[in-house]
């Protein structure tokens, strides 16, 4: 946890899912003039890095019992710290992206000094599925990617007047959250960041992003400076739509950071401390790309995703209706298992419609599947 109240410069740690908190650095601020700890990263069991606003980078080698300032770190403003197996990266406002290969003892910019201002960054992440790829949310109002461990950078997504704040990865799908003074946007890439799709959100000042995995799919938590927490369901196994469902039991205090662990969602705020919630269950459909009739095929849905007015149709390549079901997924699966042995292999089209019972939001989704015998 970064700080105890606005301007304290103190650090706390919880080892029981946020039930209790213990002070680090013997309960003292990192320094007498430290007023804001912006980034914290643990490196192994003993080493902790803490980046501040205006007071530089601090390092502990005794599991938080004491911290010392790294005098050779070139920037006083550290916004974000991340790591991969071999290196640690820091996003700064004055020197762009810096890298350490000795657990935070020494640092160097990953790019030429001429790019320091251009690479001033709010947030940095390593793609967990390709550790050579770094993503940076820059103050230049774009999302940038490096495929050379930070040596060179390319703008991969941008929108005039909009700043990117956070990024999250789910296999080959990448999400990014961005906002201006008047609007917020969720961006998604289904091809490892090569192309991006934009969804405008009815949220003000979105700034934090967390992807929560369910058994077969995932949903998205979005935090806002002023609007609290929201939940989105990405209905995109070939679709280009999002349903946004405000999480009504979450309060509206401003968010600086959110993350999920186990069955809990942890929320950090501006000046209003730390809050913990039981993680909400997801509510989207698992649309398989391939169904094998020899392996007990099924369309699956979370129990909380019941639809009013359920209607699911399966068409063959000639546009003929193979199954027309207005009851539920269970009976549709029974019909799938009962298809005759001479059902031809190939690509089929499904069309599912209805209205979510809980949110009353219409659901209308078409896609393709390949059926194999």
In a 13 Å sphere around the CA of 55, the CA atoms on its Cβ side amount to 22
The domain spanning residue 209 has which CATH number?
2.130.10.10
Indicate whether 118 and 138 sit together in one domain. Answer: yes
Per-residue tokens: 291: 């169904």
State the DSSP H helix or E strand holding residue 330, giving kind and residue range, or none if neither: helix 329-337
The better pLDDT of the pair 358, 327 is held by 327
The domain spanning residue 334 has which CATH number?
2.60.40
Indicate whether 49 and 165 sit together in one domain. Answer: yes
Give the DSSP per-residue string, 39-81.
EEEEETTTEEEEEESSS-EEEESSTTS--EE-TT---S-EEEE
Mean pLDDT value across the chain: 82
Indicate whether 268 and 333 sit together in one domain. Answer: no
Count helices and strands in the chain by DSSP H and E runs: 1, 32
- For residue 263, being part of any structural domain is answered with yes
Residue-wise pLDDT for 177-229, tens only, equals: 999 988 999 998 878 888 998 988 888 889 998 887 654 456 788 899 887 88
Question: How large a percentage of the chain has pLDDT more than 90?
Answer: 42
Residue-wise pLDDT for 153-168, tens only, equals: 999 999 999 999 999 9
Dihedral sign for Cα 168, 365, 357, 216, please. Answer: negative
Measure CA 346 to chain center.
Answer: 35
pLDDT at 130: 83
**Interior/surface letters 161-199, b for 16+ CB within 10 angstroms, e for the rest:** ebbbbbbbbbeebbbbbbbeeebbbbbbbbebbeebeeb
Indicate whether 255 and 298 sit together in one domain. Answer: no
The better pLDDT of the pair 121, 242 is held by 121
pLDDT at 251: 67
Per-residue tokens: 99: 């890298």
State the DSSP H helix or E strand holding residue 100, giving kind and residue range, or none if neither: strand 97-100
Q: How many folded domains does the chain comprise?
A: 2
Indicate whether 292 and 229 sit together in one domain. Answer: no
Indicate whether 217 and 337 sit together in one domain. Answer: no
Interval 49-66 mean pLDDT: 96
Indicate whether 187 and 335 sit together in one domain. Answer: no
Q: What's this model's pTM, rounded to 2 decimal places? A: 0.74
Q: Which domain holds residue 362?
A: 288-372
- For residue 6, being part of any structural domain is answered with no
């Amino acid at each position: 946890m970064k700080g105890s109240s606005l301007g304290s410069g103190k650090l706390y740690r919880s080892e029981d899912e946020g039930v209790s908190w213990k002070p680090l650095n013997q309960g003292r601020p990192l320094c007498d003039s430290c007023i804001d700890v912006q980034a914290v990263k643990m490196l192994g069991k003993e080493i902790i890095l803490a980046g501040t606003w205006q007071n530089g980078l601090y390092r502990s080698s005794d599991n938080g019992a004491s911290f010392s300032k790294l005098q050779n770190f070139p920037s006083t403003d550290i916004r974000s710290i991340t790591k991969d197996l071999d290196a640690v990266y820091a996003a700064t406002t004055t020197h762009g992206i810096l890298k350490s290969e000795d657990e935070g003892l020494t640092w160097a910019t990953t790019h030429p000094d001429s790019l320091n201002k251009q690479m001033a960054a709010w947030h940095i992440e390593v793609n967990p599925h390709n550790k050579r790829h770094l993503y940076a949310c820059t103050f230049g109002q774009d999302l940038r990617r490096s495929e050379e461990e930070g040596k060179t950078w390319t703008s991969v997504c941008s929108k005039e007047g909009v700043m990117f704040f956070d990024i999250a990865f789910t296999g080959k799908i990448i999400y990014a959250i961005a906002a201006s003074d008047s609007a917020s946007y969720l961006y998604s890439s289904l091809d490892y960041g090569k192309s991006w799709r934009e969804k405008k959100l009815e949220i003000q000042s979105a700034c934090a992003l967390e992807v929560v995995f369910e058994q077969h799919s995932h949903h998205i938590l979005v935090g806002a400076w002023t609007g609290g927490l929201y939940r989105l369901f990405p209905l995109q196994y070939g679709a280009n739509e999002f349903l946004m469902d405000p999480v009504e039991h979450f309060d509206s205090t401003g968010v600086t950071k959110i993350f999920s662990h186990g069955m809990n969602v942890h929320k950090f705020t501006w000046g209003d401390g730390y809050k913990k919630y039981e993680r909400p269950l997801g509510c989207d459909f698992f649309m398989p790309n391939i169904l094998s009739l020899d392996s007990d095929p099924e369309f699956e849905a979370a129990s909380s995703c019941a639809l009013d007015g359920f209607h699911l149709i399966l068409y063959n390549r000639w546009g003929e209706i193979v199954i027309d079901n207005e009851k539920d997924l269970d009976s549709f699966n029974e019909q799938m298992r009962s298809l005759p042995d001479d059902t031809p292999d190939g690509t089929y089209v499904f069309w599912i419609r209805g209205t979510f019972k809980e949110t009353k939001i219409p659901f209308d989704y078409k896609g393709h599947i390949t059926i194999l015998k």
